[in-house]
Amino acid sequence: MNKKLTLVFSLITFSSVNFSQTTTEEKEDTLLTNTPVFVTTLEDGENSSGSAGNISGLLQSSRDVFAATAGFNFSPARFKIRGYQSDKTMILLNGIPMNDLETGYGTWYKWGGLNDITRYSETKNWLTDNPYHFGGIGGYSNINAKATGVRKGSRLSYAATNRAYRNRLMYTYGTGMQANGWAFAFSLSSRFAKEGYVDGTYYEAYGYFLAAEKKINANHSLNLSILGAPTKRGKSSISTLETYELSGDNFYNSYWGYQTQEDGTKVKRNSRNTDSHMPIIALSHDWKINTNSSLKTSLSSSFGKYGQTALNWYDAKDPRPDYYKYLPSYYESINDDVNAQRMFMNWQNEESRQIQWDALYFANSKNLYTLKDENGTVLAEGLRSKYIVETRWNNLLSGGISSVYNYEKDNLSIHTGVFGQAQRNHYYNTIDDLLGGDFWVDVNRFAEQDFIDPNAAQSDLQNPNRIVKEGDVYANNYYIYNINATAFGQLNYTTKKIDYYAALELSNEHFYREGLFQTGLFPDNSLGKSESKNFVNYAVKGGATYKLSGRQYITANAAYLTEAPTSRSAFISPRTRNVMVDDLKNETIYTGDLNYILRYPKLKLRFTYYYTERKDAIWSRSFYHDEYNSFINYVMEDVDYFHQGIEFGVDGTIFGGLTGNAVVAVGQHLYNSRPTASIYVDNSAEQLAKDKTIYLQNYKIGGMPQSAASFGLKYSGKKYWFAGVNFNYFADIYLDPNPDRRTEESIAGFVESDPQYLETIEQTKLENGYSLNLFAGKSFKINNYFLNINVNVSNLTNNTSFITGGYEQLRFDTQNINKFPPKLGYLYGLNYFIMATLRF
Amino acid sequence: MNMKIINKYALLFLALLPLLESCKKEPDTPPVKKLSDGDIVTIDTLRAWQAQYGSLVFEDSISVFGIVSMDENNGNIYKNIYLQDGDAAINVRLTRSSNLQQGDSVRIALNGAILSEFSGVVQLDNVDTDKNIIVQKSDVALAPLVLTIPEIDLSIHESRLIQLNDVQFKASEFNKTFADVVNQYAQNRYFEDFDGNSLYIRTSGFADFAGDTLPTGSGSMVCIVSEYNGDLQLILRSPEESKLEGPRGPGEFLVKDFNDDDLTSGGWTVQQVIGSHEWEIGTLGSWEDKPYGVISNYDGGNTACESWFVSPSMDLSLSESASLSFDNAYNYSGDPLKILVSTDYPGTGNPNDYSWTELSATWSSGDFEFVNSGLIDLSAYLSNNVHIAFKYVGTDSSGRTWEIDNIIING
């Protein structure tokens, strides 16, 4: 057999696991060392904090068995390494920072599906030195998207799966560095599902990547990379236990419904569609100054659209089928058995428990309306839509420049760099579909009810009583600007017994809002630029590796950082006004870890203890409250977090081709302060609460297993095949607490012995869960073609009753805490990913 | 492989696990009031306070505990509940209608509540439904106190949940509904035990069951003891748990009191054998304007007449004994009235064609002086088709005027 093939297999086995060294390695779409890394989590529903955070997962290429297991086997259960969100991991592309400035989150949706490119990433999911950037406390991941980063030759792959999408086709070609000094590469990808794992979802996504690299001379090379991923998909909801029980489907999706077509057939239509395309253009210059030093300079830009649709309605019933007043439990709670039974029957039928598109069209078709102004002049006549589908846009325009100088000589290496990034997010709503109506009036329905001044209801005073039609901008329209400047320096020093590093970062974050509409409720502070906020921050970190022997190491890392609040959390109600949280302050983070590492050829082991505190963070959520007919903005300040735990991973050869691994994560992720909360309503200047004390200390951070364990076996045969099994166990899963329930106000009227007291404040712990995964692969060499077949079967036992997380609704009723029960999501049942790859 | 070293560090790892375990931190709690003994008052004490002080307005947040003995879900009571703790109970009036359920064990915070009396009933008024009633537990069993009608004592049992066994609605209530559902008026309905004691339940016209016809059998009733200015009245908790389906016991089987101003209501008939003078409704001279049945053959002169006033067919086959009583009065001279019983009369036709047995009764001595007939034993006639009849006879020269009222058949 071919030597190359052998090499591939040696990479797939665990034998070359290299814990703390930086390696660029290949990642395959199969288990453990080589996993598909883009794990789409269930949507956050109403509590969604924004558009960008909807894809999570780990860009995982480290061959550390812990990180690999967490990335593949744990992430479907929403496990987060060290309890961190994606904003704590720095994502870079060709060394250029890619995290969204507005939120801090990773922007995987920009290159979704380009797995042939993104697998060439260098990832460390822990506190570490970093030659590209100071990075985050959750490590970094640098995607090598240069033309020479793509292996020479062709790679064609097809995957069939039953997850978010059903089919994936990818083709990638790289020339490698040619004699003329040019290297070219491209990659195309398409992912498609008419209907995904969850009913009513669909997937239509493409990815493209083009890169050209020119080696000008021995010292200079230039690379241009362009990539993008135009994606359309229909989303899935998470809902309450009652809806799952009533529908008999733990993956009940409230976002879709049947719509009758002209020919009488009924078609599933999703109300929550995402349409995104944000290409990245990156130009890099590598300058090898001399044998010891180099300078890498990049210019980059990213721009494009990210739109999400949703139903909107005016003077009409809530069209969402899982609205609480459409559930039997609501009527049971008010002793109305007749309606409870009626709702129960309604939920027995698949069609009637979904969105009633035909009824929405019908309601619009009956609403003949003449709109007049105060003088009686007719402004519009026709069918005024009661229901519409709107698109909430968050469109990006950003640019960045970075320059990193590297010096390496003998035992010393120095990395220092400067980064400048500017980003403009354009938020606005458009009407996607009037659902058969003729027009929509751009007024704020809540303000219309509550204020005598007709101006108060205007979305845009510059353009009052606007009649809007499909495609028109309405409701809100504003920019958020973020400008960031960062400089860092890192020094590494190696001795025989100990390796050291130390790094320092200085950064400046600047943001403001610019309103394009003059909101009727806030005429004086909605149009034009807001106050600008500026934050200067610094960060230091350092670490040492003590070499007990060539096979055993003890390493320690520590960091102290201050971080600017994100503009996403700083603006209270950016949809309507230029108002920010009072006393915005930097978040302070200190963290450290202690690791013991073994690296024998047939046994690898890492044991880590980590400790992290975050202080003075902001926590904000928006949710729709039907009694206010408006979004409520809930902002907590001075939120502290506490994370500590152990990470343990071992893998090694048992005998012959049989290897085994065990991974254990025991974590304690807590809220660590008594924050203060302020509550605002989008459609009103009224502040519902100010500086309310939240008794949140020591509540568990929810929505993820705090602890998890995995045990795996893999057999690699001599004929280039392998097969294995993984058993994964998840524990300490809590619902994320609704802060407002942990207040003096929420329990006012209760005494300690009242059951409602504990019902209101006690945190819900979910059942522990497990999953069993199988994987297998085989390679063939046919002439000069290499064919790899990989099969992954996740959740082999089809365990569909494992609740992996959820959250308490922000709305609650203390007398009947179950009136607004938590929203929960389940682990997908048996799912598979089968891929054939042909290389030539 | 250097197992010793591994073991050493593995031990370190194992040592850290319990360390993490020991770091378990209790979640924060918002400040919450703890109830001490001084913060709790019993229903008994509330009743005593009301007796002592009359009206009281609570400003402090003391609490009273109890079990909801009657909720308002069937509409028989509205914006109020009955609360009981052991032997003491109280009526609780709410600011808003509640979803409380019978068997809910609740704590009521008294701040804002007013302790007072209304129509003789001690009540806790102005209790905030949303804020001040805290359900502690649901489905707590509360057994009603089993009493007999004579045992009910308002001074002890007011607002208590009681059960009366072997009771039945009086025959005079047959075919009536629990309340006036059309006009939504509350109404009283009389019932009796097998010993002749009787009492009434008062039902709201808004109750779910207000329009249901009263059951005619016997059984147990679960009620709240209430009063209206000293008059004992009971509130039926629900007809579902007080099914009166058993055989009727001794008690009023049939009552004809003419108070509905209708001679033939309830299936009574007049069988005219001779002449044209018939039984009719009379009101002259009767006190309280209560009508009665009357017959006379005098119309400027006497005319020969034979007129029977016949009861509906009665099924006494389930009764162990039966008796009859009625009031009667007469004036003028003529033949006496007769009271007769038959077990073969088909309900219509000339009574003389069937067999009738005359019964002895105490009769009026004239001058329109009403007397009661005394209890006339019908135990010899416990068949399924019993008729009684008053037979009036007058001649061309004489005839009395007979008045009858309050015909009661017990069975």
pLDDT of residue A22: 29
Nearest 10 degrees: CA dihedral of A824, A826, A827, A830?
A: -170
Nearest CA in chain B to A644: B20
Instruction: Work out the percent of chain B whose per-residue pLDDT is above 90.
Output: 65
Placement of tokens 């006009």 in the chain: B183
Give the residue among B229, B241, B88, B75 at the shortest CA–CA distance from B161.
B88
Nearest CA in chain A to B26: A698
Tell me the nearest-neighbour CA distance from A558 into chain B, angstroms: 19
Query: How many Cα atoms are found within 13 Å in the side-chain-facing hemisphere of A52?
Result: 23
Tell me the nearest-neighbour CA distance from B129 into chain A, angstroms: 10
ipTM: 0.78
The DSSP string of B175-238 is T-BSSBTTTTB-EEEEEEETTS-EEEEEE-TTSTTTTSBPP-SEEEEEEEEEEETTEEEEEE--
Give the residue among A817, A659, A686 at the shortest CA–CA distance from A240.
A817
State chain B's mean pLDDT as an integer.
89
Nearest 10 degrees: CA dihedral of B285, B290, B292, B297?
A: 30
Q: Is residue A218 within 8 Å of A282, Cβ to Cβ?
A: no
| Of the partner residues B5, B35, B109, the one whose CB lies closest to the CB of residue A749 | B109
Q: Is residue B92 within 8 Å of B109, Cβ to Cβ?
A: no
Determine the Cα–Cα distance for residues B137 and B102; give it in Å rounded to an integer.
11
pLDDT of residue B199: 93
Taking phi over 0 as left and psi of -120 to 50 as alpha, with beta for the rest, B299 belongs to beta
- Asked if B32 reaches chain A (Cβ–Cβ under 8 Å), the answer is yes
Determine the Cα–Cα distance for residues B300 and B303; give it in Å rounded to an integer.
9
Across the interface, whether the CB atoms of B9 and A607 are under 8 A apart is answered yes
Give the residue among A428, A308, A429 at the shortest CA–CA distance from A50.
A308
Across the interface, whether the CB atoms of A763 and B27 are under 8 A apart is answered yes
Pairing, β A280-288 against β A293-313: antiparallel
Nearest 10 degrees: CA dihedral of A55, A61, A62, A64?
A: 80
Interface of A with B in 797-816 (CB under 8 A): 815
- Partners of B17 on chain A (C-beta within 8 Å) are 646, 666
Q: Long-range contacts for A37-40 (Cβ within 8 Å, ≥24 apart)?
A: A37/A61, A37/A71, A37/A72, A37/A115, A37/A118, A37/A119, A38/A108, A38/A112, A38/A113, A38/A115, A39/A75, A39/A76, A40/A163, A40/A164
Higher pLDDT, B196 or B1: B196
Burial B356-378 (b: 16+ CB within 10 A, else e): beebebebbeeeeebeebeebeb
Across the interface, whether the CB atoms of A754 and B30 are under 8 A apart is answered no
Across the interface, whether the CB atoms of B28 and A742 are under 8 A apart is answered yes
pLDDT of residue A451: 62
- Partners of A743 on chain B (C-beta within 8 Å) are 30
| Of the partner residues B16, B28, B32, the one whose CB lies closest to the CB of residue A752 | B32
- Residue B98 clears pLDDT 50, i.e. is over it: yes
- Give average pLDDT by consecutive 10-residue segment, chain A, 840 residues: 36 30 31 30 30 28 77 90 92 94 91 88 88 93 93 95 94 96 96 96 97 95 97 94 95 96 95 97 96 96 97 92 94 88 95 96 94 84 95 97 95 96 97 96 74 79 90 95 97 93 97 95 93 96 92 94 94 92 93 93 92 95 78 92 95 93 95 94 83 95 94 93 96 93 91 92 94 95 92 94 89 84 93 94
Give the residue among A90, A144, A95 at the shortest CA–CA distance from A401.
A95
User: What's the distance, CA A249 to chain centroid?
Assistant: 25
Tell me the nearest-neighbour CA distance from A559 into chain B, angstroms: 22
Sign of the dihedral through C-alpha A43, A49, A50, A56:
negative
- Asked if A823 reaches chain B (Cβ–Cβ under 8 Å), the answer is no
pLDDT of residue A47: 30
3-state secondary structure of A117: helix
pLDDT band at B315 (very low <50, low <70, confident <90, very high): confident
Across the interface, whether the CB atoms of A753 and B35 are under 8 A apart is answered yes
- Asked if A609 reaches chain B (Cβ–Cβ under 8 Å), the answer is yes
- Partners of A644 on chain B (C-beta within 8 Å) are 20, 23
Domains of chain B: 39-137 (2.40.50.140), 145-248 (2.40.50), 253-410 (2.60.120.200)
| Of the partner residues A600, A698, A751, the one whose CB lies closest to the CB of residue B32 | A751
- Asked if A738 reaches chain B (Cβ–Cβ under 8 Å), the answer is no
Pairing, β A687-693 against β A676-681: antiparallel
Q: Is residue A278 within 8 Å of A306, Cβ to Cβ?
A: yes
Residue to substitute from B94, B97, B108, B134, interface A, most A β-carbons within 10 A: B134
Tell me the nearest-neighbour CA distance from A663 into chain B, angstroms: 13
- Asked if B15 reaches chain A (Cβ–Cβ under 8 Å), the answer is no
pLDDT of residue A50: 31
- Asked if A171 reaches chain B (Cβ–Cβ under 8 Å), the answer is no
- Partners of B13 on chain A (C-beta within 8 Å) are 596, 607, 646, 648
- Partners of B16 on chain A (C-beta within 8 Å) are 609, 646
Q: Is residue B297 within 8 Å of B303, Cβ to Cβ?
A: yes
Pairing, β A603-625 against β B280-282: unpaired
pLDDT of residue A615: 96
Across the interface, whether the CB atoms of B6 and A645 are under 8 A apart is answered no
Across the interface, whether the CB atoms of B16 and A754 are under 8 A apart is answered no
Give every CB contact of residue A143 below 8 A, 6+ residues apart in sequence. A59, A91, A92, A93, A94, A111, A117, A118, A120, A121
Determine the Cα–Cα distance for residues A315 and A386; give it in Å rounded to an integer.
6
Taking phi over 0 as left and psi of -120 to 50 as alpha, with beta for the rest, A563 belongs to beta
Residue A248 exposed, middle or buried by CB count within 10 Å (0-12, 13-18, 19+): exposed
| Of the partner residues B28, B34, B73, the one whose CB lies closest to the CB of residue A697 | B28
| Of the partner residues A603, A607, A668, the one whose CB lies closest to the CB of residue B13 | A607
Nearest CA in chain A to B131: A749
Q: What angle do CA A294, A295, A300 make, to 5 degrees?
A: 145
- Partners of A697 on chain B (C-beta within 8 Å) are 27-28
- How far, in Å, are A131, A249, A403 from residue A492 at the CA level? 10, 55, 19
- Residue B108 clears pLDDT 50, i.e. is over it: yes
Q: What angle do CA B145, B147, B152 make, to 5 degrees?
A: 105
- Asked if A603 reaches chain B (Cβ–Cβ under 8 Å), the answer is yes
3-state secondary structure of A65: helix
Across the interface, whether the CB atoms of A333 and B99 are under 8 A apart is answered yes
Interface of B with A in 118-177 (CB under 8 A): 130-132, 134-137
3-state secondary structure of A73: helix
Q: What angle do CA B135, B137, B140 make, to 5 degrees?
A: 120
- Asked if A662 reaches chain B (Cβ–Cβ under 8 Å), the answer is no
Average pLDDT over residues B225-249: 91
Architecture of domain A3-237+272-319+388-788+797-839 in this structure: Beta Barrel (2.40)
Here the tokens at position A605 are 């082991």
Determine the Cα–Cα distance for residues A761 and B32; give it in Å rounded to an integer.
11
Residue A150 exposed, middle or buried by CB count within 10 Å (0-12, 13-18, 19+): buried
Residue to substitute from A82, A653, A753, interface B, most B β-carbons within 10 A: A753
Placement of tokens 């329109």 in the chain: B368
φ/ψ of A181, rounded to 5, equals 85, 5
Nearest CA in chain B to A671: B27
Nearest CA in chain A to B27: A698
- Residue B268 clears pLDDT 60, i.e. is over it: yes
φ/ψ of A78, rounded to 5, equals 65, 20
Tell me the nearest-neighbour CA distance from A695 into chain B, angstroms: 6
Across the interface, whether the CB atoms of B9 and A334 are under 8 A apart is answered no
- Partners of A605 on chain B (C-beta within 8 Å) are 6
Placement of tokens 């109305």 in the chain: A336
pLDDT of residue A822: 92
Q: What is the CA radius of gyration of chain B?
A: 33
Q: Running DSSP on this structure, what letter comes out for residue B138? A: S
- Partners of A753 on chain B (C-beta within 8 Å) are 34-35, 107, 136
Residue to substitute from B29, B37, B95, interface A, most A β-carbons within 10 A: B29
| CB-defined contacts A:B, below 8 A | 95
Across the interface, whether the CB atoms of A645 and B27 are under 8 A apart is answered no
pLDDT of residue A55: 28
- Domain extents for chain A? 3-237+272-319+388-788+797-839
3-state secondary structure of B30: coil
Across the interface, whether the CB atoms of B63 and A751 are under 8 A apart is answered yes
Q: pLDDT, tens digit, for every residue of B20-51?
A: 555 678 899 999 988 888 899 999 999 999 99
pLDDT of residue B5: 52
3-state secondary structure B331-391: ECCCCCCEEEEECCCCCCCCHHHCCCEEECCCCCCCCCCCEECCCEECHHHCCCCEEEEEE
Q: pLDDT, tens digit, for every residue of B173-186?
A: 878 899 999 999 99
Q: Is residue A486 within 8 Å of A419, Cβ to Cβ?
A: yes
Across the interface, whether the CB atoms of B33 and A751 are under 8 A apart is answered yes
pLDDT of residue B400: 92
Determine the Cα–Cα distance for residues A42 and B392; give it in Å rounded to an integer.
93
Determine the Cα–Cα distance for residues A201 and A274; give it in Å rounded to an integer.
11
Higher pLDDT, B251 or A632: A632
Query: What's at A361, amino acid-wise?
Result: Y
Tell me the nearest-neighbour CA distance from B143 into chain A, angstroms: 23
In this structure, chain B runs to a length of 411
